Amino acid sequence: MSLRPLTRSAAGLALAAGLAFGLLAAPEAQAVTAAPSAVPDASPAEAPAHTGCDPIAGTSCLLPFPDDWYTRPDHSTPTHRRIDFSSADLPASALAGATDPTSWNRLDGFSPGSALVLTVTTLDPAASGLAPVTDIGRSLARNAPIVVLDENTGERWPYWAELDANDPQHRALLVHPARDFTPGHRYAVGVRNLRTSAGAAIPAPAPFARVLGHLPHNDPLRQRQKELEPVLRTLSHAGVHTSGLYLAWDFTVASTTSLTGDLTTIRDDAFARLHGEAPTFTVTAVTDQTPAQDPDIARVVDGTIQVPSYLSQPGGPTGSVFHRDHDGQPAQLPGNVQTARFRCEIPRAAWMTPSQSSLYGHGLLGSRNEVGAGNVKAMAEEHDFTFCATDWIGMAAEDQNTVVTALEDLSTFPATTERVQQGVLNALFLGRDLIHPAGFASSPAFQTADGRPLLDPHAGVVYDGNSQGGILGGVLVAESQDVKRGVLGVTAMNYSILLNRSVDFTALQPALDAGYPDKLQQQLVFQILQMLWDHAETNGYAAHLTDHHQVLMDIAFGDHQVANVAADVEARTIGARLHVPALSPGRSPDTTPYWGIRPVHGPAHGSAMVVWDSGTPPAPLTNTAPLGPPYGHDPHSDPRNSPAVRTQKAVFLTTGVTIDVCDGTPCTEPPAG
């Protein structure tokens, strides 16, 4: 049943009604590589900027995606490329018209988690031998019909391929990297030997077929042919020849500087302004509670912290974007300050022994008040943690209408991702106040009546977040100079994978349908949004997340809100090791469960992933949400409500070791009551 397009006010009502809970949230097989000597120089071609759509596919504009056709040479960037979208290239909103490409054209490449998107009429994935999500290892077979090749190293890249199950008309082919592409690298793609359900060969699009042949110098496709010659040579060296080739192209992945530069800029500037002092804070309320009122939490402290604001409006309200200087860098408007509200929950145990300080990250479009959830309070008292939270502005309760508008009009999306980055900075300032001697430790609100500290001055600060708090929490951990360890609960990364697969997105789908009713365009919208979302969620930081930090990923098997497939991509990308046995035999539909994620038996030092099984059926194998009775109970909240999980988290946060709390068996937990 198709949904009637909603007005913005109606979409906002649907969002408010539907988003009560948080969303979005084996040794690696040897890759087949081309010999380094066989890989040609991968330096970008010196071609002029293009106009119009890439002619090789002969279908919708922006297909195939991502594609260096939509970049231009720029030697001022680390990749020597720059995105070069025009408003005519990008999907136009049915409500707001053309998309402003300015924010995308600051980037020097595409998302490291981008799906490859193309359309192939009459394609049958099984007859063609495409690697499904249940058999990722097949993507590296020498005769695989799709080959993705890192042009910088010659490495074959793993992926899974699927048809868009939401769009029977176009049946877009989506090719997802099973491990994020490497920032700053270029990738060549060769698609070959595709078949219909009857086994008939599918011919190449007519323009690409002409590119593979002889073209006179004055042919309109001659320039495109010259640009693709290095790509075809690279693929040929890897065993992908022109015979049977359906399509070939290449694309550049954004550099680390491009992905993380805005947040790093505001972080460094803001902390430099402190000159080593604690951020300015004000305690606005101290609420002491009797054991009868709350058996776990003795004191709740509310307050505000003053943070330099790099947003475009005074005080940085929802809808703000970065204020930028003449070089395009985020910069503070004179005197602009963000007032970040915080709440801290101090357990009764802290009156016996000073507690471990921890930041807490709330769920989708929630608030700092989630730090008072029962599972958080239980962990606080059981393991003597003081949890403090501030709103993830940009993706907090006050931003609901801004998020809805972004799905209706791509041009407004920077108001979400840039404000989220300010929100991360706010949380980093909260973390600094938790550990600075002149910060919270100096306030009577964080002391006993006789002046003893309630926060352990020697323990530092850690991070714990669930759902959205896990998805955004990877950014905070990666960028923090104070937090060295974090727990990312019921987490994953890459919203472009997560949205179609989440039951929560059904509340937002009407807004997307209103702005971009064409289902093929919606898949492109997800990839285009991801290019900016990378700046504000773990996907853009994953390549270096564990360089100097450790994270524990707690996963709910069959999660209805945060798809497990995206958690697996994150684990492969950051190098997290998997607690094994992860699942009981027969629980996973995969040929090789958790392909490409290194296993660990017993205690694990460093980053790890633990899968918790509440008995929920596996999620759909398509890019659809697990809706309806066949998918049973949603286990999304089960891990955080488990005493065993809380014990494992506490040990990891204080020691960096993931202990085995499952006695050498798969980790199971009854559904939370």
User: How high does pLDDT run on average in the chain?
Assistant: 92
* pLDDT classification of 48: cutoffs 50, 70, 90: low
Please enumerate in sequence order all residues whose Cβ is within 8 A of that of 218, keeping only pairs 6 or more positions apart, or say none.
none
Tokens of 606: 């460093």
Among 299, 525, 288, 304, smallest CA distance to 406 is for 525
d(CA 318, CA 393): 8
SS (H, E, C) 336-390: CEEEEEEEEEEEHHHHCCCEEEEEEECCCCECHHHHHCHHHHHHHHHHCEEEEEE
Lowest mean pLDDT among 46-50, 514-518, 655-659: 46-50
Helix 400-408, helix 8-18: angle, nearest 10: 120
The whole-number pLDDT of residue 52 equals 86
Helix (H, G, I), strand (E, B) or coil at 485: strand
pLDDT (tens digit, 9 = 90+) per residue, 4-38?
Answer: 233 333 333 333 333 333 333 333 333 333 333 33
pLDDT in the model for residue 47: 54
Name residue, tokens 């009637």.
4
Whole-number Å distance between alpha carbons of 591 and 396: 39
Cα dihedral 374, 376, 382, 388 in deg (nearest 10):
-130
The residues, any chain, with a CB within 8 Å of residue 462's CB and separated by 6 or more, are 356, 357, 358, 359, 483, 484, 485, 486, 487, 653, 654
Residue closest to 278 by CA, chosen among 391, 442, 480: 442
Q: Give dist(CA 567, CA 498) in Å, integer.
A: 10
Strand duo 483-489 + 550-556: pairing: parallel
What's the Rg (C-alpha) of the chain?
25
Instruction: Please give the structure tokens belonging to residue 355.
Output: 């507690």
Amino acid sitting at position 68: D
Rounded CA-CA distance 202/130 in Å is 14
Q: In whole angstroms, what is the distance from residue 317 CA to residue 399 CA?
A: 9
pLDDT of residue 62: 96
pLDDT of residue 452: 97
Q: d(Cα 512, Cα 515) in Å, to the nearest integer?
A: 5
Render pLDDT for 81-115 as a digit per residue (tens, 0 to 9). Answer: 999 999 999 999 999 999 999 999 999 999 999 99
- Rounded to whole angstroms, the Cα distance separating 332 from 269 reads 9
Walk me through the domains of the chain, giving residue ranges and CATH numbers.
28-254 (2.60.40.1220)
Residue 672 confidence (pLDDT): 77
Q: What is the pLDDT of residues 267-325, one digit of tens each?
A: 999 999 999 999 999 999 999 999 999 999 999 999 999 999 999 999 999 999 999 99
CB neighbours of 133 closer than 8 A, spacing ≥ 6?
160, 162, 176, 565, 590, 621
Is-contact 463 485, C-beta < 8 A? Answer: yes
CA angle at 555 for the pair 469 and 474, rounded to the nearest 5°: 35
Mean pLDDT over 190-218 rounds to 96
Strand partners, 458: none
Question: What is the torsional sign of CA 505, 506, 510, 516?
Answer: positive
In whole angstroms, what is the distance from residue 644 CA to residue 658 CA?
Answer: 12
Residue 513 has pLDDT above 70, yes or no: yes
**DSSP track, 73-106:** E-TTSTTSEEE---TTTSPPBTTTBSPP-TTGGG
At residue 670, does pLDDT exceed 50? Answer: yes
Query: Which residue type occupies 345?
Result: E
Containing 259, the helix (H) or strand (E) segment is helix 256-274
The structure's pTM equals 0.92
pLDDT of 265 reads 98
Neighbours of 639 (CB within 10 A): 28
Geometric angle at alpha carbon 45, from 44 and 51, rounded to 5°:
110
Judged against a pLDDT cut of 70, whether residue 658 lies above it is answered with yes
